[in-house]
Amino acid sequence: MIVITGATGNTGKPAVEALLASGEKVRVIGHDAKKLEAFTQKGVGAFVGNVEDAAQMSKAFEGATAVYLLIPQSADEDYRAYQDNVSDAYQKAITSARVPYAVTLSSLGAQHAERTGPIVGLHNLEQKLNSISGLNVLHLRPGPFMENLFMSMAPLRTMGLLPGGTEGDQPIALIAAKDIGAYAAKRLQARDFSGSSVQELLGPRDVTMKEVATVIGNAIGKPKLGYMQVPFMMLEPALVQTGMPKNTAKLLVEMWKAGNAGLLAPQEKRSAENTTPTTIESFVTEIFAPAYLAKTAGA
């Protein structure tokens, strides 16, 4: 049996669907039973629990051959403390349940122990799991999610340009979350890794934010759409104004600064193994633009 944390999320859901399509027995974990109903209606086992609770996670992992581990998003005022609480619980639960295989959702830059914002929490997760005797663990380190562009949708509508914290000409290994989920499912099923290992996932090609703005502009009928790197002294309060906790906004700014400084650059050469299929053009055409245009029409 394969256990999936964050089963209703951007990577967890595609992982579950891929495993079910392959005939695997799956157990899904989430904090909201109603959101898990789409899986339970298909006969999938579900466990409703708190990922910060080691005892609950130990029960959730009982009988698992492999587990997909991610730290869910949270509106907690101290997101870094939340991350460490979750990784502590996972470490204890994996040890207690004697799970032999785990695949984690980490990030580019997770080799660094500081200065990378929320990615520090993923570094800590990796280190804790690496310390578990007998565990075979594969850490997936993808580039930034294409889905993060949704954070720019509201300001795009009001400002008439695409804003962000990344330098406009810096190449980025943008990746679609569904491709991460599909890759995780493949490795969870194969269980073809041993000890502690890392696999970067780099999307189909590197793109710059200026290129992304052009792709979005063409898809939403604004072919001259530009990109603006927002000064960090403006970006942090702007994030807080959207309702984001101040500490989380500060962490994101630190992460963007790390990216601009090259701390989040891939360590692997691009290869067939770390290249994933969904292009920024198809993501924008199929996902981002319809959502943008639907909200615009309804405004």
| pLDDT over 90 at 133, yes or no | yes
Could you tell me the pLDDT band of residue 184, with boundaries at 50, 70 and 90?
very high
Nearest to 125 by CA among 194, 72, 78: 72
Nearest to 201 by CA among 179, 222, 220, 233: 179
**How far is Cα 25 from Cα 178, in angstroms, rounded to an integer?**
20
Cβ-contact 11, 177 below 8 angstroms = yes
Average pLDDT over residues 271-298: 92
**How far is Cα 174 from Cα 206, in angstroms, rounded to an integer?**
7
**How far is Cα 174 from Cα 169, in angstroms, rounded to an integer?**
14
**Structure confidence at residue 297 (pLDDT):** 58
- What is the per-residue pLDDT across 189-242, written as a single tens digit (0 to 9) for each? 999 999 999 999 999 999 999 999 999 999 999 999 999 999 999 999 999 999
* Domain boundaries defined on the chain: 2-144+176-201
| pLDDT over 50 at 299, yes or no | no
When the pLDDT of each residue in the chain is averaged and rounded to a whole number, the result is 96
- What is the per-residue pLDDT across 17-44, written as a single tens digit (0 to 9) for each? 999 999 999 999 999 999 999 999 988 9
| pLDDT over 90 at 170, yes or no | yes
**How far is Cα 226 from Cα 215, in angstroms, rounded to an integer?**
10
**Structure confidence at residue 295 (pLDDT):** 73
**CATH code of the region 2-144+176-201:** 3.40.50.720
| Burial degree of 51 (CB within 10 A; 0-12, 13-18, 19+) | buried
**Structure confidence at residue 86 (pLDDT):** 98
Average pLDDT over residues 112-139: 98
